[in-house]
Amino acid sequence: MKGGAQSMQSMDFADARGAGQLVFNPSLVEHPKPEWFDPASWGEAIKPVANGGRGAAWFVNGPFGSAVLRHYLRGGQMARFSRDAFVWSGRQNVRSHNELELLALMRELKLPVPEPIASIHWRTGLRYRAAILVGTIPNTRTFASMLEDSMHDERLWRRIGIMIARFHQARILHADLNAHNVLVDTQGFGHLIDFDKSERRLKGDHDWQQDNLARFERSVHKVCNGNAALASAVIMAVTSAYRESMR
Ligand SMILES: Nc1ncnc2c1ncn2[C@@H]1O[C@H](COP(=O)(O)OP(=O)(O)O)[C@@H](O)[C@H]1O
Ligand SMILES: [Mg+2]
C-alpha cells in the first residue's frame, strides 16, 4: 500500500527533556525541530485554544503553516500521579505517533480530518511525554457550542450522521466521539478532530459501531443541557441519516 503511515518520515534526537523521536510529514516539513513542540519557544506566535480543551492545546503559526499543538495529558485518577507522563510500553504504543499515522491514513481515505504535520515523544526511563502538531481547520466552531446556543439546523445534523457513517465504513473507531470533537466549517460540513487512542478496526468486525454512535448520542444529550426536545431532534436526524448511509 502506498502512503499512509509509510509517507511519514522520522528523526531521532536528544534534548533537555529526554531522548526521543520526531515523526513528520515531508510534504509540509523540511527541517523538523523538537522546539516546535515547546509552547514557550513560540513567543507571540502562539495562543491557547479558546474552548473545549483541557489546557494543553495552542494555535501556532510556523514554517508548516497554521497549526494546533497539543500535549498529551492523562485523565482521571492517574492525572493526580503524573499529569503528562505515560508508561513506556514500546515505540508502537506511542500515542502521538499513532495519532499522526492514523491521520495520514484517513487523509488518504479522503475523510474530513486535520492534516498531519508532526508528532514527538521524549523518553525518560520507563516513562514518556508526547505532543502532536496538526493543521488548523479554518473558520470552524465546535458542534457542541452550536448546540449550547440551541441552533436549529436539521440539514447540518443529517450531514453529521452521514459523516460518522463514512468513518465507520472506513473502519475508523474514534475513541472519544463527542460533540466537542466535531468541528463545523462555514459551509456547514463536519470535521473530526482529537484521535488520541483511536484505531482502524479489522474487516468484518462491526460490534463497536453501535456503541460508538451511542457515545455520540450521550454527548449530544449532555451539551443540550436539559433541552430534551432539541437533544431528541438532533439524535433523530443524526441516527436516521447514519442508518441510511450505512445500508
Ligand atoms: N485542527 C483543528 N482546527 C481548528 N481547531 C482545532 C483543531 N484541533 C483542535 N482545535 C480546537 O482546540 C480544541 C481542543 O482540541 P482537541 O484536539 O479536541 O484537544 P482536547 O480535547 O484533548 O483538549 C477543540 O475543541 C477546537 O476548538
Ligand atoms: Mg477534544
Tell me the pLDDT tens digit for each residue of 176-208.
999 999 999 999 999 999 999 999 999 999 999
Q: Taking Cα atoms as reference points, which of 131, 137, 135, 172 lies closest to residue 25? A: 135
pLDDT at residue number 1: 40
Burial class (CB in 10 A: 0-12, 13-18, 19+), 7: middle
How far does the centroid of ligand 1 lie from the alpha carbon of residue 57, in Å? Answer: 7
Over range 128-138, report the average pLDDT: 97
In contact, 159 and 135? CB cutoff 8 Å:
no
Our mutation pick for probing the ligand 1 site, out of 47, 177, 193, counting the most ligand atoms within 8 A of Cβ, is 193
CA of 141 to the centre of ligand 1 (A): 10
* Domain residue spans of the chain: 4-135, 141-246
Residues whose Cβ atom is located within 5 A of ion ligand 2: 181, 194
Residue type for 243, please? R
Say what the pLDDT of residue 74 is: 87
Protein residue with least CA distance to atom 2, ligand 1: 136
CA–centroid distance, 136 to ligand 1, in Å, is: 9
- The string of pLDDT tens digits covering residues 59-72 is 999 999 999 999 99
Q: Which amino acid is at 92?
A: Q
Q: Which residues are catalytic?
A: 176
CA of 27 to the centre of ligand 2 (A): 26
Mean pLDDT of 136-148: 97
pLDDT of residue 2: 45
Q: Find the mean pLDDT for residues 66-83.
A: 84
Pairing of strands 86-87, 127-135: antiparallel
Ligand showing the shortest atom-to-Cα distance for residue 194:
1
Q: How many CB atoms lie within 10 A of CB 51?
A: 10
pLDDT at site 75: 78
Per residue in 14-63, pLDDT tens?
Answer: 999 889 999 999 999 999 999 999 999 999 889 999 765 667 999 999 99
Phi, psi of 129 (to 5 degrees): -115, 155
Q: Which residue has the cell 440539514?
A: 155
Q: Which residue has the higher pLDDT, 74 or 109?
A: 109
What pLDDT does residue 92 have?
A: 97
pLDDT of residue 140: 97
What's the mean pLDDT when you consider all of the chain?
94
For 117, the grid coordinates are 504535520
Give dist(CA 164, CA 44) in Å, integer. 37
pLDDT top residue among 153 and 81:
153
Q: Tell me which residue of 128, 99, 103 sits closest to 20, measured CA to CA.
A: 128
Q: Identify the pLDDT of residue 50.
A: 79
CA-proximal residue: ligand 1, atom 1 (nearest): 136
In CATH, the architecture of 141-246 is Orthogonal Bundle (1.10)
**Residue 204 burial class via C-beta count within 10 angstroms: exposed 0-12, middle 13-18, buried 19 and up:** exposed
User: Is the pLDDT at 9 greater than 80, yes or no?
Assistant: yes
Q: Whose CA is nearest to atom 23 of ligand 1?
A: 53
**Residue 141: its H or E element:** strand 141-142
The residue behind cell 449532555 is 222
pLDDT at 83: 86
% of the chain at pLDDT higher than 90: 88
- Output the ligand 1 site: residues, CB below 6 A: 49, 51-54, 57, 68, 70, 114, 134, 136-137, 140, 142, 180-181, 183, 193-194
More confident residue, 82 or 78: 82
**Residue whose C-alpha is closest to residue 205's, from 175, 238, 177, 172:** 172
Q: Residue 4: is its pLDDT beyond 60?
A: no
Contact 200, 171 (CB under 8 A): yes
Atom of ligand 1 nearest to the CA of 54: 23
- For residues 233 and 247, what is the distance between their CA atoms, to the nearest angstrom? 22
> Which ligand 1 atom lies nearest to the CA of residue 53?
23
* C-alpha of residue 54 to centroid of ligand 1, in Å: 10
pLDDT of residue 204: 93
How far apart, in whole angstroms, are the C-alpha atoms of residue 26 and residue 7?
8
Confidence at residue 176, expressed as pLDDT on a 0 to 100 scale: 97
Of all ligands present, the nearest one to the C-alpha of 53 is 1
- Residue 52 vs residue 168, higher pLDDT: 168
